[in-house]
Structure 1
Amino acid sequence: MATSFVIGDKFRGRVTDLLRQSGSSVPRELREELEAILKKQDPATLSFGTTRKLKKYLQDKGHPFYLHELLEDSSVHLPEVVKPPRNPELVARLEKIKTKLANEEYNRITRNVNTQEIHRNGALGDFGRQVRSVKAAVVTVFNFLVTVVATFACSYMGSQYLFTETTARVIAAVIAASVVGLAELYVLVRTMEGDLGKP
């Protein structure tokens, strides 16, 4: 926090003239402070307390120039902020807290990952599961085709006792195969829905 001004040449010149002209009318304490400041080499600083005293003196004596004119080429002195050394215990606690928070974040991100399952099954386990799934689908399609073809053949052969014409026998066989095919599809869809509904 600022507590003083770094004085410029204009301040030095005007205060020197003021001290010469005013003589003994300047209070002794203020005169000593101002002389001590003027004797300092750059950067010389003027405390806020001395500034207030000088301002009051100028107002009381009715001098033709004001404090802001004296401080035109001066600047506020901002001392360097000295950071206190950090407490080693506090640093150790902060590091421990950071580590704990990082671990909690990592655990939150990876809570859905099951490493045992990944190592147990691996790539070959996934491949075997996919092969079994494809095998079941192929068997189901093959079973469907065999059932429809067998139904068509049986209906065609059996309809010779009812129909003498080949066209009628084929139509009867197609109708029977369609009915059996639709029934197979219904059962297949219900089975797949049951499999998909399992957790």
Structure 2
Amino acid sequence: MASLCEAGERLQREMRTLLRGERQLPADLRAALQEVLSPEAEPLVSFQVLRRLHGFLRESGYPGYLHELLEGSRIYLPKVETPPRNPELVARLEKIKAKLANDDYKRITRNINCQELNRYGSLADFGRHVRSMKALVITIFNFIVTVGAAFVCTYLGSQYLFTEIAARVLSAVIVASVVGLAELYVLVRTMEGELGEL
């Protein structure tokens, strides 16, 4: 807490006038003012001396007020000297900071996979895509072969029923369409089951 005031020009001038003047200052107040005005020391006045000075001036009929005397003065705040830090504490705090920074980094990067940083994906992704493409190609090939085989079997088998080619082709198209729709139904149900498992 501040207990000193750095005397401004007006306060110093008034103190010099009081020391040179005809007013009779108490000895302890005179000594305190001379100490403040000594050229080797800083002009620092304690609040206690200011109170005594103000009381003396009021008793002697001084026409001014204390705040007028203190114009240009500042409260003196000494520099606070911080004690040196304990090296063990500093080392421990550094370890804690490093651990917290590492935990934050892990939390931020926990969903990043280094293999996925490649814009083309990793080899595991490539294998997964190849397997899904392979299954899709096999399914399409199976669908075409089944529908084609149904058409050919019906066309060849209908020669015993129909003698005209148009009737044979029409019956082969109808049977191939029914087989194709049945194949699509089975394919959709299979895909629906696979999606449900995901």
Report the TM-score range of the alignment, normalised by the length of the smaller protein. 0.7 to 0.9
Amino acid at match of 1:35: Q
Q: Which residue of 2 aligns with 1:21?
A: 21
1:88, distance to aligned residue in structure 2 (A): 1.2
The farther-off stretch of 29-38 and 95-104 is 95-104
Q: Displacement of 1:9 after TM fit?
A: 2.1
> Which 4+ runs in 1 deviate beyond 6 A?
none
Offset of residue 33 of structure 1: 0.7
The 3 A distance-change label for structure 1 pair 193 and 22 is: farther
| Partner residue, 1:6 | 6
Over aligned residue pairs, what C-alpha RMSD do you find? 2.7
> What is the CA distance between 1:22 and its match in structure 2?
5.1
User: Are the aligned partners of 1:58 and 1:66 in contact in 2 as well (CA < 8 Å)?
Assistant: no
**Partner in structure 2 of residue 131 of structure 1:** 130
**1:185 matched to 2:184:** yes
Partner of 1:46: helix, strand, or coil? strand
Q: CA distance change for structure 1 residues 60 and 174 in 2, over 3 Å: closer, same or farther?
A: farther
Shift of 1:19: 3.2
Instruction: Say which structure is richer in helix.
Output: 1
Q: Deviations over 1:23-73 (max 9, x none)?
A: 32x332222111110123474111222222222333333310112111212
Q: What is the alpha-carbon distance in structure 2 between the residues aligned to residue 164 and residue 62 of structure 1?
A: 146
CA distance in 2, matches of 1:174, 1:193: 28
Paired residue for 2:79?
A: 80
Q: Contact conserved, 1:11 with 1:71, CA < 8 A, in 2?
A: yes
Say if 2:54 and 2:66, in contact at 8 Å, map to a contact too: yes
Instruction: Give unmatched runs, 5+ long, in structure 1.
Output: 116-121
Structure 1 Cα separation of the partners of residues 193 and 143 of structure 2: 18
Q: Which consecutive residues of structure 2, in runs of 5 or more, have no partner in the other structure? A: 115-120
TM normalised by structure 1 equals: 0.81
Q: Kindly, what percent of the aligned residue pairs are identical?
A: 58
